[in-house]
Amino acid sequence: MKKHIRFWLVGLFMPLMAYSQPSTIEYNGKQIFLNGVNAAWINFGADIGNGNTDTAGFRKMFRKVHDYGGNSVRLWLHTNGAVTPQFSGSKVVGPGNGTIKDLKNICDLAYKNDVGLMLCLWSFDMLRKTNSTMVKDRNRGILTVDSLMASYINNSLIPMVDSLKEHPGILAWEIFNEPEGMTPIGNWSEVDQVQITNIQKFVNRCAGAIHRRDPKAKVTNGTWCSKAASDVSGGTNYYSDARLKSLGGDADGILDFYCFHYYDNTGLSPFEHPYSYWQLDKPLIIAEFYPFCTHCGTGSSFENLYKNGYSGALGWAWNESHAPDIRTEMQYLFDNYTSYVDINTNLKNAPSLKVISPLPNARFGISDTVKFRVQVKDTDGGIKKVTYRCGDDTIYESTATPYDFNWIKPLEAKYKVYISVTDSDNYIKDADPYLITIGNPPVKIFEAENAALSGTASKKADITASNAYYAEFAQTGYIEFTLPKAPVDSNYDIKIIYRVPYGIKNQYVMVNNDAATRKDVLFNGDANIWLTKTLNFPLKTQVNKLRIDASWGYMQFDYIELPFGEPAPPNVVKNTITPNFKVYPTICNASDNITIDFSGQSIPRTEIHMTNLSGKKVRTDIISGESEHRMSTIGLKPGIYILRLVSGDTSGAVKILVQ
């Protein structure tokens, strides 16, 4: 059958080698590198066909992906088969009421926001042991019984493809997410099993049906790891043309490009092997991974894949804790390789904004000047202004390059800083808000990671969180804060700073172990940004306790804030600036040295660590007795790094931008 996809070489003078391939894929007539993210759902397994599609949520997500330079989103559809398709007994009789309409609305929204969708039909979750017997049995049927498989293809898949034929919001159809997990190949304990030959037959016949109904459509499959996607290093590419056709018998049932996933505990790292290593005959996208993983190399993870000949990078996941890293990565790739990732069909591009200083959670003396330094850029216009806010108050608007701001002797307090840039098209980009402290103000903020954590509640690192940490629920447990005495017995507003990975959760909150105060609290709002919920509780003139019990599981808490405080104990705030400590340059090239200058002092033993934004160390020096030290940046990928000095109980940190 005629191929459905064209590929262009990137770099005219790249050395030729066996299996060499380009790093772009054609989408709506434009060659792009897939610079994107896994959604993978807003409502697990129920984003379509249940009558409750979160249209507003998808609109916000697609626009945000676009505004951070992304061009693609991977979205799961049937997933576990609990909602769609529609079954009658063990036979599929339709895609499900409203399924096609819901999916078309989602695809329309993606296209309007210059985002292409990889639509993943099924996941290994279809045989998860916790599913009902009915769901597992009918899913096993369509995987193993030819007539039932045909009922899915003819009555659900083909109607969807026919209705969405050549839709400009669809980048590709994907048959499975990690199907090897429900076979002896992956042998995952949480799912029942079929044979890998069942999976291959299903992929072949679904791909053939899609190609015949929409000859321009592209088809792929989301493979668990490199072991099941390549014949090298003891692996097997179960999805080669020959293997698929031999198992399913459909000459049109082949893939247009390959996808595999990478996590540090599975397979060989694509970040440590170029595309050519896998000896594949088609392009390869790394469709799931955590940015800045242990074996992701240094610098930008997305850029590493781009330069190593892969065709796309889709981070996991938009609605989970790695979202800030993914936004940073998409923006970096857009800023540095605009022509290869920019779609720019329906929307103008948003500006980019990088905050160089101060660092999140920085502390300053009451006589200090807080020096805000930013980098801003707009690819299709100019910069109009950069706005600096603390809480609800605008403290400065800068309208001229370099758009920086010196805040002279701010009042003693803990401030939440919001910085945004507005371009000439009036598009606004917000930096992640963060806290800074001036002086030694009364303690009003109580960190969740320092509270009593029970069950699955645990401490997690995140540079966007207060104090660089937060507490996370999985499914069970509680977080209990110990609070100071109230000025008088009364009701007080308590602010809870939280983040909801999938837009909405319920938890129970009460004070002083008093069931009469217990509230079933809805935590909702935009996914993956820190939000505030204000609750009113009775507090006493004694030590108080506030407890959050897991009800609907997985979400994150940063801190709670009281309207009153208690004096900070002496020396509770350590110096974060080593005496007479200077670093220059803070904006440098990958061939420079960074100088750490101690102004002539001979300092004691000091550890100097350079980390990327996810905390991975890329350089470490240990010095003693030096008054000046140079640290090399040779070999570092462009990006933002944190240079941190630790000497005894004194520490300092500076943000470094490698261009």
The pLDDT score that the predictor gives to residue 104 is 98
The pLDDT score that the predictor gives to residue 211 is 98
3-state secondary structure of 279: coil
Q: Are residues 125 and 259 in the same domain?
A: yes
Q: Is 431 a domain residue?
A: no
Q: Is 384 a domain residue?
A: no
Is the pLDDT at 4 greater than 90? The verdict is no
Q: What is the pLDDT of residues 267-319, one digit of tens each?
A: 899 999 999 999 999 999 999 999 988 899 888 999 999 999 999 999 999 98
The pLDDT score that the predictor gives to residue 648 is 59
Q: Is 544 a domain residue?
A: yes
According to DSSP, residue 636 is labeled P
d(CA 23, CA 304): 12
Looking at 16-20, 239-243, 476-480, 575-579, which range is the least confident one? Answer: 16-20
Q: Are residues 122 and 186 in the same domain?
A: yes
Q: Is 299 a domain residue?
A: yes
Q: Are residues 194 and 258 in the same domain?
A: yes
Q: Is 370 a domain residue?
A: no
Active-site position among 166, 180, 272, 288: 288
Domain harbouring 476, CATH code: 2.60.120.260
Q: Is 354 a domain residue?
A: no
Q: Last residue of some domain: 549, 566, 583?
A: 566
Q: Is 311 a domain residue?
A: yes
Identify the domain containing residue 207 by its residue range. 25-341
Q: What is the pLDDT of residues 363-410, one digit of tens each?
A: 899 889 999 999 999 999 999 999 999 988 999 999 999 999 999 999
Q: Is 438 a domain residue?
A: no
Q: Are residues 642 and 538 in the same domain?
A: no
Q: Last residue of some domain: 566, 599, 630?
A: 566
State yes or no: is 320 an active-site residue: no
Q: Are residues 540 and 609 in the same domain?
A: no
Q: Are residues 120 and 230 in the same domain?
A: yes
Question: Number of structural domains, the chain?
Answer: 3
3-state secondary structure of 486: coil
Domain harbouring 132, CATH code: 3.20.20.80
Q: Are residues 496 and 608 in the same domain?
A: no
Active-site position among 26, 166, 174, 178: 178
Q: What is the pLDDT of residues 162-219, one digit of tens each?
A: 999 999 999 999 999 999 999 999 999 999 999 999 999 999 999 999 999 999 999 9
Distances (CA, A) of 553 to 78, 116, 242, 367: 23, 31, 45, 44
Q: Are residues 321 and 463 in the same domain?
A: no
For the whole model, what pTM was predicted?
Answer: 0.80
State yes or no: is 480 an active-site residue: no
d(CA 387, CA 411): 19
Q: Are residues 146 and 42 in the same domain?
A: yes
Is the pLDDT at 649 greater than 70? The verdict is no
Q: Last residue of some domain: 320, 341, 362?
A: 341
Q: Are residues 512 and 658 in the same domain?
A: no
Beta strand spans in 449-592 (E): 452-455, 458-461, 469-473, 477-483, 490-499, 504-511, 519-524, 531-539, 544-550, 555-566, 582-584, 587-588
The pLDDT score that the predictor gives to residue 21 is 44
Identify whether the C-beta of residue 473 lies closer than 8 Å to the C-beta of residue 555: yes
Q: Are residues 586 and 493 in the same domain?
A: no
Q: Are residues 231 and 183 in the same domain?
A: yes
Instruction: Report how far Cα 576 is from the mean position of its chain's Cα atoms.
Output: 30
Instruction: Report how far Cα 347 is from the mean position of its chain's Cα atoms.
Output: 23
The residue assigned the tokens 């099941």 is 228
